[in-house]
Amino acid sequence: MLETTVTTKNFEDEVLKAEDTVLVDFWATWCPPCRKQAPVLVEFAIAHPEIKVCKVNTDEEPALAQRFAIEAIPTLMIFKNGVAVKQEAGYKDIHQLEAFAL
């Protein structure tokens, strides 16, 4: 599986307790930039298996969006050792995504 769907039920195990670096995409189905970001995330996941890619649907998981003060989507976050170390909103092409995540 290239991407893991994250909910309030599995967020701690999938993101906060992960031993690897985790890239979390906060998105929604109705968001055109989010839909544009999706294939770039798949491309990134294939090229960088050392980074776990997770997705949070903000419509289905508003508590997680609120917990991390998500005000715009897509918002991408990098977690290392359970701590959010980077956060940026907006679409990123593969080069921008690599610059952000690596």
The pLDDT assigned to 1 comes to 63
Mean per-residue pLDDT, 35-48: 97
- For residues 51 and 23, is the Cβ–Cβ distance under 8 A? yes
Please count the residues of the chain. 102
pLDDT digits (tens, 9 = 90+) for 6-36: 999 999 999 999 998 999 999 999 999 999 9
DSSP secondary-structure letter at 26? E
Cα–Cα–Cα angle for 32, 96, 62, nearest 5°? 45
Known catalytic residues are: 31, 34
- For residues 76 and 100, is the Cβ–Cβ distance under 8 A? yes
Mean pLDDT, the chain, integer: 97
- For residues 3 and 45, is the Cβ–Cβ distance under 8 A? yes
DSSP secondary-structure letter at 71? -
